[in-house]
């Protein structure tokens, strides 16, 4: 990376990059890692992890050029953090279970946030959440923070009723005419419905983002099969009726179930 960033003999594209210009690529590579995991493609995972590591090296190199920190400092910082947050491994603290460790981990993170908090601002359990998180992950983290102080559902099954309540409110926004009376209110109610679904996933200890990613892959796989079946019949999706495509969709679903 030092050679790629060399103003005299490096790559012009790499030389002109900044932290801000590289940030979107860093996020993209993280998503591609998640995608490889969802697809259970270990060859792709190896490659994508390398791409993600390159992003870390890229940022660290730019920081070193500005005398801010080096790659070794990044590694040292995360190593120190892991030692600090695992006193049951690197120290004498004892934990009885994974759940107890999760609670201890969150307590340590809370203490770290408190130490870095602006003393002139009122503290909140929601402090420190990155505003740029994807919406599903942000919702999950907000709920987890609130749950730490007791603001949470008792059982996962209780949230199903809340989801039904939110769905009824979404339905009501369409009114008797079958069209949304207010897009602003409908947007608000849809947000509430999604938030409740994230809550159910969190309470059931299922990552909502990975669950949705799996559904996206399933949809893609089945729709491609519908396209293939249409091609075999000499048709295209544009030239097929909704009823024809729905029939082939059901066929694609049954084919998958038969293979399991």
Tell me the torsion sign for CA atoms 53, 57, 60, 62.
negative
CA distances from 109 to 65, 77, 105, 121, 194 (A): 31, 15, 6, 19, 27
Residues 29-44, mean pLDDT to the nearest whole number: 93
CA distance 50 to 25: 13
CA distance 222 to 227: 9
186 by Cβ neighbours in 10 Å (0-12 / 13-18 / 19+) ranks as: middle
CA distance 230 to 220: 15
Q: Which CATH superfamily is domain 12-87 in?
A: MazG-like (1.10.287.1080)
pLDDT band at 44 (very low <50, low <70, confident <90, very high): very high
Hey, what are 125's tokens?
């359990």
pLDDT band at 177 (very low <50, low <70, confident <90, very high): low
pLDDT band at 176 (very low <50, low <70, confident <90, very high): low
Residues 131-152, mean pLDDT to the nearest whole number: 91
Residues 18-27, mean pLDDT to the nearest whole number: 94
Question: Which of 256, 195, 200 is closest to 225 using CA atoms?
Answer: 256
Contact 41, 32 (CB under 8 A): no
For residue 117, pLDDT beyond 70: no
CA distance 83 to 209: 29
| % the chain with pLDDT above 90 | 66
Longest dimension (CA), the chain: 70
Residues in CB range of 71: below 8 A, 6 or more apart: 56, 57, 60, 61, 64
For residue 83, pLDDT beyond 80: yes
The per-residue pLDDT for 100 is: 76
Q: Which CATH class is domain 150-205?
A: mainly alpha
- The top-scoring range by mean pLDDT among 62-76, 149-163, 201-215 is 62-76
What residue spans in the chain does CATH classification 1.10.287.1080 cover? 12-87, 150-205
pLDDT band at 123 (very low <50, low <70, confident <90, very high): confident
CA distance 40 to 20: 31
Residues 84-99, mean pLDDT to the nearest whole number: 84
């Amino acid at each position: 990376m030092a050679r790629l960033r060399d103003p005299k003999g490096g790559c012009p594209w790499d030389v002109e990059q900044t932290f801000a210009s590289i940030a979107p690529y860093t996020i993209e590579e993280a998503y591609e890692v998640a995608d490889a995991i969802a697809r259970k493609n270990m060859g792709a995972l190896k490659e994508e992890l390398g791409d993600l590591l390159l992003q870390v090296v890229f940022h660290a190199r730019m920081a070193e050029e500005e005398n801010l920190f080096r790659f070794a400092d990044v590694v040292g910082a995360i190593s120190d953090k892991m030692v600090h947050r695992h006193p049951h491994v690197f120290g004498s603290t004892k934990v009885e279970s994974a759940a107890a460790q999760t609670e201890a981990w969150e307590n340590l993170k809370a203490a770290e946030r408190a130490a870095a908090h602006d003393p002139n601002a009122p503290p909140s359990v929601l402090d420190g959440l990155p505003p740029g998180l994807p919406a599903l992950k942000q919702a999950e983290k907000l709920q987890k923070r609130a749950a730490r102080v007791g603001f949470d559902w008792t059982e996962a099954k209780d949230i199903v009723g809340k989801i039904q309540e939110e769905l009824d409110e979404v339905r009501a926004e369409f009114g008797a005419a079958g069209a949304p009376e207010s897009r602003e209110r409908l947007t608000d109610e849809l947000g509430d419905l999604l938030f409740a679904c994230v809550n159910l996933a969190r309470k059931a200890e299922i990552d909502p983002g990975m669950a949705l990613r799996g559904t996206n892959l399933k949809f893609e796989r089945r729709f491609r099969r519908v396209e293939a079946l249409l091609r075999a019949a000499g048709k295209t999706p544009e030239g097929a009726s909704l009823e024809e495509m729905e029939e082939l969709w059901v066929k694609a679903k049954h084919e998958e179930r038969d293979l399991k």
